[in-house]
Amino acid sequence: MQDKEVYENLLNLSKNLTTLLLHASTEASTDEVFDAFSDALESAVEMQHQIYKCMEDCGFYQVTQVNQTEITNVQNKFEECYC
């Protein structure tokens, strides 16, 4: 397995973890349980960000800048569908 695949797997697993912890915290039955899941969620989000930054630094996750005209065009397209 190549480094990129390892990082992709880690990022996907961390995204799944944050989703689970989010749902767990919103459904917590006591303040103590809520606090525990919220703290774990915060740590998981930080871990996910660190994985993303490592991928970006290694050139595995490249973000393309989009100009405002393209953003406006997409926004207008969706507004037409929902109005």
Contact indicator for 58, 7 with CB cutoff of 8 Å: yes
In this prediction, residue 63 carries a pLDDT of: 82
Number of continuous H segments (helices) and E segments (strands) in the chain: 3, 0
34-82: per-residue pLDDT in tens? 999 999 999 999 999 999 999 999 999 888 888 999 999 888 888 887 6
Domain total for the chain? 1
37 is in which domain, residue-wise?
A: 3-82
Number of alpha carbons in the 13 Å side-chain half-sphere of residue 33: 10
* Tokens, residue 44: 């998981």
pTM confidence score: 0.74
2-13 per-position pLDDT tens digit: 999 999 999 999
- Look at residue 83 and tell me whether its pLDDT is greater than 80: no
